[in-house]
């Protein structure tokens, strides 16, 4: 798939417009750029959730392991 938005670089310089991936056309509110943005947001949010869940498991595991050590000397 050819995603280059211009016929040539010369035309791009003349139009002085955006040239990043799937940025062609009026993109405000619609188009492939919006889909890319939504995917980017999804990756960010899911990453944050995964970090939270992973850390929670690690800490709970460590707390269980340490309960005997600290509990036995109370």
Partner 1 sequence: MSTAIVFTEAYYFFTVAIMWLLHVGFMTYEAGVSRRKNIMSTAMKNIMTIAVVTPTFYYLGWYVYFCMQEGLKFTVSADGASPAGLTGLYFCGDGYGLAWDGSAGPHLGDNITGVFWAAFVLFSWTTGSIMSGAVIERIRISAYLWLTALMGGLVWVVAAAWGWSYGGWLGVHFGYHDFAASMVVHGVAGIFALGVLYNLGPRIGRYDSNGGTRAFQPHNLHLTLMGLMIIFTAFYAFYAACLAITADTTPGWANIYFNPATLSAITYTITMGFAGGFAGGYIFSKGDPFWTISGGLAGVVAVSAGADIYSPNLVLILAFFSAGACYYIGGWLESKARVDDAVGAVSVHGFMGMWGALAVGIFAAGYPTGPAGVETSFLGQLVGVTAIFALSFVTGYVASWILKKLNLLRVPPEVEVEGLDMAEFETDFYPEFGRADEPITHADGSRESAAATLRAELAANR
**Using CB under 8 A as the criterion, which residues of the chain lie in contact with partner 1 when the complex forms?**
12-13, 15-21, 23, 27-29, 31, 33-34, 36-37, 40-41, 44, 47-48, 51-52, 55-56, 58-63, 66-67, 69-70, 73-74
Closer CB to partner 1, residue 1 or residue 48? 48
Q: How far is the CB of 1 from partner 1 (least distance, A)?
A: 18
Closer CB to partner 1, residue 1 or residue 16? 16
Contact 33, 27 (CB under 8 A): yes
Q: Give the CA diameter of the chain.
A: 77
Distance CA 10, CA 59 (A): 57
Contact 36, 30 (CB under 8 A): no
């Amino acid at each position: 798939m050819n995603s280059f938005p211009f016929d040539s670089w010369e035309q791009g310089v003349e139009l002085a417009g955006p040239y990043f991936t799937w940025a062609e056309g009026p993109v405000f509110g619609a188009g492939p750029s919006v889909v890319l943005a939504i995917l980017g947001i999804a990756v960010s949010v899911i990453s944050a959730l995964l970090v939270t869940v992973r850390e929670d498991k690690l800490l709970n595991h460590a707390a269980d392991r340490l309960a005997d050590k600290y509990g036995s000397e109370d």
